Amino acid sequence: MNLRATRARPSPAATPPPAGRSAAPAAAAGHAPFGPTAAVLAATALLATSQLYGMIPLLGRAAPGWNTDPASLTWLVSVFGFGYAAGFLLFGPLSDRLGRRRVMVGGVAATAVTTALVAAAPSPEIGIVLRVAQGVTIGAFPPVAMAYVGERVAPHRRLTTVTAMTTGFLAAAVVGQLTAQGLAAAFGWRSFFLAGAVAFAAAAAVLARVLLPDGPSGGASPRAAYRAMPRLLVTPGLWPLFLAVPVVLGPFVAIYTGLQLTGTDGLLELRASALPVILAIPFLTARLARVPGPARAAAALALSAASVALVGLLEPGTLGLALLLMLVTAGTAVAAPGLIDIVVARAGAARASAVSLHSALLFAGASLGPQLAAALTGHGLRALGLVLAALLAAGALLVAASRRGPA
pLDDT category of residue 384 using cuts at 50, 70 and 90: very high
Assess whether pLDDT exceeds 70 at residue 71: yes
Assess whether pLDDT exceeds 50 at residue 26: no
Question: Rounded CA gap, 331 and 346, in Å?
Answer: 22
On whether the CB atoms of residues 331 and 304 are closer than 8 A, the answer is yes
Helix ranges restricted to H, 54-99? 59-65, 75-98
The structural domains of the chain, ordered by start, are 5-404 (1.20.1250.20)
pLDDT category of residue 218 using cuts at 50, 70 and 90: low
Assess whether pLDDT exceeds 90 at residue 76: yes
Assess whether pLDDT exceeds 80 at residue 53: yes
Among 5-19, 121-135, 192-206, the least confident range: 5-19
Q: What is the pLDDT of residue 92?
A: 82
Average pLDDT over residues 8-23: 36
Identify the burial level of 229 via C-beta atoms within 10 angstroms of its C-beta, where 0-12 means exposed, 13-18 middle and 19 or more buried.
Answer: middle
Average pLDDT over residues 244-262: 91
Assess whether pLDDT exceeds 90 at residue 29: no
pLDDT per residue as tens digits for the range 286-318? 788 788 889 999 999 999 999 999 999 988 888
Question: Rounded CA gap, 115 and 202, in Å?
Answer: 13
Assess whether pLDDT exceeds 90 at residue 407: no
C-alpha closest to that of 9 among 348, 287, 326, 268: 348
Question: Rounded CA gap, 21 and 175, in Å?
Answer: 34
Most confidently modeled of 92-101, 166-175, 250-259?
250-259
Assess whether pLDDT exceeds 70 at residue 20: no
User: In angstroms, how far is the first alpha carbon of the chain from the final one?
Assistant: 23
